[in-house]
Amino acid sequence: MSQENRDRAASDRDVELSREDEGCVITARWRTGVASTAITGPDEVVIRVADKAAPEVRERGVTSAVLHRMGRQVDDMVAEFHVLPSVGAYQVMVRRYIEGRLTELAQVRGATAAGFESDLLTVFDDIARRGNPDPLGALATATGRQREALEQLLSVARERDDHDGHQV
C-alpha cells in the first residue's frame, strides 16, 4: 500500500470512487477509519441508472448484465484505491492466466471433477509465489466463486496433499 493510501486509510473519512459504464453509474465507498495493509473491497457499492442514460437503458434499468459488467468496474476501483499496477490491465492479465492454467490442468487430468481442488491449490500457490497481492481474490474473480467457498476447496486440497504424503 502506498504512503498516500496508508495516510488515507488512517483517516476517519470515507473514500469514494465512481465509474460510468453504458448508462449506469457505479460508486464504491471505503470506510477508511481502520488502517490495513490487506487488499480490501469497498464497504458499499451503489449502482444506478445515470441521469443522462439513453431511454432504452432507463427502460431496462439495472439488470444482471449490468451487474456483471459492474463487477469489472469494482475490480478496477479496488486496484485504483490500493494503487495496484496497471489498473484494469493487471486484473485482466491475472484472470486470463488463471483461467488458462485451470483449463490446462483440467485437460491434463482428463477434466473429471476429482482433482479440481488440487488444480485450484496449484494455481493459488503459483500466483502467490509470483507476488500477487491478493491471490484468493484473483482466484475468486477468475472462477466466479466466493472467497469462502474457495478457502474450503483449498483446505480440502491441502488436506489431500498432506494425507497423500506430499508437502503442504
Whether residues 78 and 100 fall in one domain: no
In a domain, 5, yes or no: no
pLDDT in tens, 103-142: 878 777 765 566 888 889 999 998 888 877 788 888 888 8
Looking at per-residue pLDDT, the higher value among 104 and 153 belongs to 153
Domain that holds residue 39: 13-84
* pLDDT value of position 10: 45
Q: Which of 4-13, 15-24, 148-157 has the lowest mean pLDDT?
A: 4-13
Q: How confident is the model at residue 168 (pLDDT cuts 50, 70, 90)?
A: very low
In a domain, 2, yes or no: no
* pLDDT value of position 147: 86
Domain boundary (50, 84, 118) is at 84
Q: How confident is the model at residue 151 (pLDDT cuts 50, 70, 90)?
A: very high
* pLDDT value of position 15: 87
- Mean pLDDT for the stretch of residues 19-43: 80
Any idea what the Cα angle at residue 122 is, between residues 117 and 128, rounded to 5°? Answer: 120
Domain boundary (40, 64, 84) is at 84
Instruction: Kindly report the average pLDDT of the chain as a whole number.
Output: 78
In a domain, 29, yes or no: yes
Looking at per-residue pLDDT, the higher value among 7 and 126 belongs to 126
* pLDDT value of position 61: 93
Domain boundary (56, 84, 112) is at 84
Kindly report the pTM of this predicted structure. Answer: 0.45
Whether residues 48 and 24 fall in one domain: yes
Whether residues 57 and 95 fall in one domain: no
Any idea what the Cα angle at residue 66 is, between residues 61 and 67, rounded to 5°? Answer: 115
Domains in the chain, number: 2
pLDDT in tens, 73-108: 888 788 778 776 544 566 777 777 888 888 878 777
Whether residues 92 and 161 fall in one domain: yes
